[in-house]
Chains A and B, each alone.
Chain A
Amino acid sequence: MSIDTPETSGGPHVISEASYAEVARSEEFGRLRKTFRGFVFPVTIAFFLWYALYVFLSAYARDFMGTKIVGNINVGLVFGLLQFVSTFVIAWWYAHWAGRKLDPLADDIRHKMEGDSEVTS
């Protein structure tokens, strides 16, 4: 029934609080945190502003939104469709980026902590 094999849930590994604290201070984890936040925070702000612009224009720039581009297709419709496009693109971009940049860093740290591999960093 299930297709994915468990990747991280191989039973609860017992990891002490002290080793979490140590990892949290490590340079390696610092890099993971910085990489993660360096992507998701700016992108979140960007798509939020882009969406807010759309809502503002819907409220305060009606004539602009109603400007026809081709036939009965106006700026408002295209702007709305672009919100769909940007959502799809950001989702794809994040997944692609995370697979390349984030997952290897996270895997390294996890394997070391769970002590079940000889992964070298």
Chain B
Amino acid sequence: MSAREITIVLFVILVIVTLGITVWAGRQTKSAVDFYAGGRSFSGFQNGMAISGDYMSAASFLGIAGIIALSGYDGFLYSIGFLVAWLVALLLIAELMRNSGKYTMADVLAFRMRQRPVRTAAAVSTITVSIFYLLAQMVGAGALVALLLGIKPGQTFLGMDADTAKVATIILVGALMIIYVTVGGMKGTTYVQIIKAILLMSGAALMTILVLAAYKFNLSDLLGDAAKQSGKGDAFLKPGLRYGVESADAMKTFYSKMDLLSLGIALVLGTAGLPHILIRFYTVPSARAARKSVLWAIGIIGTFYLMTLALGFGAAALVGGKAITAQDKAGNIAAPLLAENLGERYLGGENGGAVLLAVIAAVAFATILAVVAGLTLASSSSLAHDFYANVVKRGQVSERQEVVVARISALGIGAVSIVLAIFAQSLNVAFLVALAFAVAASANLPAILYSLFWKRFTTSGAVAAIYGGLISAVVLVFFSPVVSGSPTAMFPDSDWHWFPLSNPGIISIPIGFLCGYVGTLLSKDPAAEEKYAELEVRSLTGAGAQ
């Protein structure tokens, strides 16, 4: 069998298994708490795996390995930021949120505020963050599958050329995520994420061991060879090839370094504001189980990001930068190419390479499916629970109706994402993940932290923080070089940029916090202040928690 055939067989098995579990989970999904929170019946360990599966996107598996393979040390910054970020969630958010919320991020924000303005704002920001993230994953999936199946311009597969295959993949991924969420709800989605976490960790561990074995477990030799093969020498092992690049132009150097700091801040503060991650804390029975989930997640995610070092430097050393960029300039294909190389090395010949490549391709596919399902669930939950049930119907709605609306929302959001992704597929949308993190850090995090820790915080403050952070992040990115005015921009042929940084966080995060602060000082909300006692006691003790 060729790599392509094995890949397809594995894809089909994966799809059948996950659909089977989804149908099984769907039969057990009856009430709202089942649909939104998986019946709060998962253990800390199960949820820790699901959080990892929800969090480690194709961007972190293929993307980080690719950046390290091409730019060396600089890719490490992502790994570190994505991991350290979990301490914010562990110390300040997970347990308090579990105790005070019910189904969505907005439950905590609206706990002591006027429901309609705060829930509307939270739903807007939840859906914006999730759709940005979703689009990046879906467009990435299209490009990736075409690449993995080896369909190059001019070739065909099942009668499809590369462009048709990309569209077909986007539709397939979209259809699957709609089914996982509408049929399986949170329970189905959770199991898909657990399976993905197991596959991803096993695949990465296998490759890491094989890479290290190729260098007799001598890390220094691996690094030395990677630096040599990269053609960049020692610079490959130091920061600066990709971020904070130093050039003769002092202003350019300054902006480039600012960009690096901005990225660093958004990475570490964004995670704890991602709605699809936050709702996972509701799937366990208690705050203590939420704590345990985050501990497991930190262990799993940390181990994974350590392995990306071996994968990235391994790809640089064994495959080489030239061979990687020949297939994909962005480097996303580095990990699959490394798998092929390792297969040839250890399993023998082309067949061995084909087998391992196919396995890693299927792992990447599972990775994408689990993440898009989580994002679809988060946005449809917010649309149904926050916007429909509490804003439109002012809470006068039966549980049954709400779940029906949530399922329809998932279908609608899925369909919209498919269409948007098809239109966006020729554009460079890699920046959307960074933008999602920036919005999460600028809009959601200030609102959550103020709500939980600042008694005086008001409805106006919450609304100001969310819209202020959201709008400033989106506007700054729209006028940044990632959208126009640079060769790698979304619209490379136009130029309307005036903001010099690609990452808005360093400006938009302070704006979000400031808007929340000023909005609060300019308003009075005695009801919210009075109800802080209930929020505080409940969040810290769990008394009266759902």
Q: What is the interface of chain A, defined by CB distance below 8 A to chain B? A: 1-9, 12-15, 17, 20-21, 23-25, 29, 32-33, 36, 40, 43-44, 47-48, 51-52, 54-56, 58-60, 62, 65-66, 70-74, 76-77, 80-81, 83-84, 87-88, 90-92, 94-95, 98, 103, 106-107, 109-110, 113-114
Contacts and interface: CB of A to CB of B under 8 A. Distances in A.
Given A20-B543, A56-B261, A87-B83, 5 more contacts: A20-B533, A58-B264, A76-B239, A95-B291, A109-B543
A13 B544 contact: yes
Contacts, number: 199
Interface stretch (B86-94, B202-210, B479-487): B86-94
Contacts of B81: 51
B166 interface: no
A8 B182 CA distance: 29
A80 B80 CA distance: 7
A12 B546 contact: yes
Nearest to B98: A8
A23 B533 CA distance: 8
B540 interface: yes
Contact of B43 (A3, A76, A103): A3
A84 B80 contact: yes
B541 A109 contact: yes
B302 A71 contact: no
11 contacts: A2-B285, A3-B43, A7-B542, A17-B533, A20-B533, A43-B91, A47-B87, A54-B80, A66-B237, A72-B221, A73-B219
Interface in B31-63: 40-46
Contacts of B388: none
A83 B87 contact: no
A81 B307 CA distance: 12
B220 interface: yes
B99 interface: yes
Contacts of B533: 17, 20-21, 23-25
Interface string B173-204: 00000000000000000000000000000000
Given A8-B542, A15-B544, A76 B73 contact: yes
A109 B292 CA distance: 22
B87 A91 contact: yes
Interface of B: 40-46, 73, 76-77, 79-81, 83-84, 86-88, 90-92, 99, 218-221, 223-224, 227, 234-235, 237-240, 243-244, 246, 257, 260-261, 264-265, 268, 284-289, 291-292, 294-295, 298-299, 302, 305-306, 530-534, 536-538, 540-546
A44 B91 contact: yes
* Interface secondary structure of B, over-half rule: helix
B224 A32 contact: no
Nearest to A1: B41
B545 A76 contact: no
B540 A32 contact: yes
A46 to B, nearest CB: 10
Nearest to A13: B544
